[in-house]
Chain A
Amino acid sequence: MSLISNIDRGAIYVWRRNADVFFKTWKTNFLPSILEPLLYLVAMGAGLGSLVMNLQYAGQEIEYIRFLAPGLVAISIMYGGFFECTYGSFVRMHYQKTFDAIVATPVSIEDVIAGEILWGATKSFVNSTIVLLVIIVLGVTFIPQVLFTAPTMLLIPAISFLGGIMFSSIAMIFTGLVPNMDSFNYPFYLLVTPMFLFGGTFFPTTSLGVIEPVAYALPLTHTSVLMRDLSFGTVGWMDLWATLYIVVLTVVTFLLAIVIMKKRLVK
């Protein structure tokens, strides 16, 4: 397939460009990723969580803050890639004309799109790793309920990169379609925010009752399932399905993103 054969080291160069810019201002870039999970864990976990009684997950009663923590990791995977490949990519494409400058070199349009998605996935990876580290530090120090010790936790960074490719690809599809930057409100309010709220993040999807299957159509639900089971060490069939869902959706949306963005960029 020529879409894929046009991708080579050029994609890495595009990734490097974005990484260079990111590390130029790394202090301001890391701060939100550290503060956000802290705020959520204190407000939602400790505050709201004190009102939650008898929370059941996987047949066991667990404390709310323990349920919440892996959900925050999943959320950071989604937001990392989604922000980067909507607003970030759109600014580079439309306002800065960075893509136009790059495609005049041996780097192809496919390289640019793939490089942007890889960078989005890297943002997911970086953000979620920071969230995970914050949780670990809190677990060891002040909040023993969020101390996770299952060895399967080591798989979280790899899964977060994979999930990052998926969310970045979905975002890139919207970047290929929106007429202007304000239009990103639609995917954010109609897709991202519902996932943020209903994707097995703040409460178990079982609480949704009859509409629970709808939640399982959402990519974030599968990501939270994986994050939670890898953190708890309760890996089962569900996680195999979740992984399969993510792999298939990643491949499909990645290819679709390239087709749609190419259509927009080729003059």
Chain B
Amino acid sequence: MPAVVSARGLVKKYGDLVAVDHIDLQIEKGEVFGFLGPNGAGKSTTMHIIQGTSPLTAGRLEVLGMDITARAKEVKALIGVAPQENNLDPDFTVLRNLTSYARYFSIPPAQAKKRALELLDMMQLTEKKDTEIEQLSGGMKRRLIMARALINDPQLLILDEPTTGLDPQARHLIWEKIRDLQKRGTTIILATHYMDEAEQLCDRLVIMEKGKFLLEGTPRALIEEQVGSCVMEVIDPPGQGIEDYLATTGGQVERSADRIYLYSRQCQVIQSEFRGRFPDVYSTVRPSTLEDVYLKLTGRRLRD
């Protein structure tokens, strides 16, 4: 079976700025594939190229077995897109947003309405079907955008930060739907800033920076390889030489303003020795997460 997305040497330039810099990518059917990275890393650009709305500068890209440049209309008929930005149609009600969107896919009106009502039910928006868009809360808008992305029953679903700004309930609803869709064989591409989201949902992910992939792999493998299984966090009282001491324990040491992070595979052992030596210094041990990998890789400074 051919890959759902197959990219070779993908490049996107805006004048002198290289937004996507020679990336290779292979996404298989049924995968949830994550794009992580700081703002401006090239995640959204890459997704726009894959969804056929942004032409590539160089390289070769096939989506669902079709060349994106030559057959953009056919590709777009088979994919669903939930953009980062709210671009629901403010001139229509909730239901009309879905049925008018269905028309762009040449879905007959009766079928469109049936599908739209099913999707509103799925996203728990049935009560709001006759509401104008501007009366919806932020969370409802995101759910409606997700419903709209599913109107053509897509084989590939592209979600750009689908849960940004949502409350925990709405987030979990979206996560649940993503898992359901995956079970039914839909391939999903997901860009997110939430590491827990990526860790929970993604089979595989890449961390992007400056248009390149820094890392690629499964969440668990990336955590193991990059930071080990656990982290000891220490609140650093100045002038006690704690950072120097920790550096001798064999783990990797990182620091932010007032915290030191020690990535290791034997945090418990190190912590008990540490407590013997610095009994008054606060320290805690926790399993390492994707967030640790991400921050280690892209740094703890603010990006923009």
Contacts and interface: CB of A to CB of B under 8 A. Distances in A.
A103 B101 contact: no
A266 interface: yes
Given A10-B104, A16-B103, A17-B100, A100 B72 contact: no
Majority secondary structure, A binding face: helix
A13 B53 CA distance: 18
B81 A104 contact: yes
A106 B73 contact: yes
A209 B113 CA distance: 62
Given A106-B76, A106-B77, A97 B104 contact: no
A2 to B, nearest CB: 11
Contacts of A101: 83, 87-89, 101
Contacts of B53: 100, 103-104, 267
Contact of A104 (B74, B76, B90): B76
Contacts of A17: 89, 100, 103
A13 B107 CA distance: 11
Given A100-B85, A107-B104, A266 B54 contact: yes
B48 interface: yes
**B interface majority secondary structure:** loop
B48 A96 contact: no
A108 B106 contact: no
Contacts of B88: 101
B269 to A, nearest CB: 52
Interface string B47-59: 0100101110000
Contacts, number: 62
Interface residue range, chain A: 20 to 34
Contacts of B105: 105-106
A112 to B, nearest CB: 10
A193 interface: no
Interface string B107-151: 000000000000000000000000000000000000000000000
B73 A108 contact: yes
B100 A20 contact: yes
A266 B49 CA distance: 11
Interface in A12-62: 13, 16-17, 20-21, 24
Contact of B48 (A13, A97, A267): A267
B91 interface: yes
A9 B72 CA distance: 15
B117 to A, nearest CB: 19
A18 to B, nearest CB: 9
The 4 closest A-B pairs by CB, nearest first: A97-B87, A105-B104, A101-B87, A104-B81
Given A96-B89, A106-B74, 8 more contacts: A10-B104, A17-B103, A97-B85, A101-B88, A104-B81, A105-B101, A106-B105, A108-B72
26 contacts: A10-B104, A13-B103, A13-B104, A16-B103, A17-B103, A20-B100, A21-B91, A21-B92, A96-B89, A96-B91, A97-B87, A98-B89, A101-B87, A101-B101, A102-B104, A104-B51, A104-B53, A104-B81, A104-B83, A106-B77, A106-B104, A106-B105, A107-B104, A267-B45, A267-B53, A267-B54
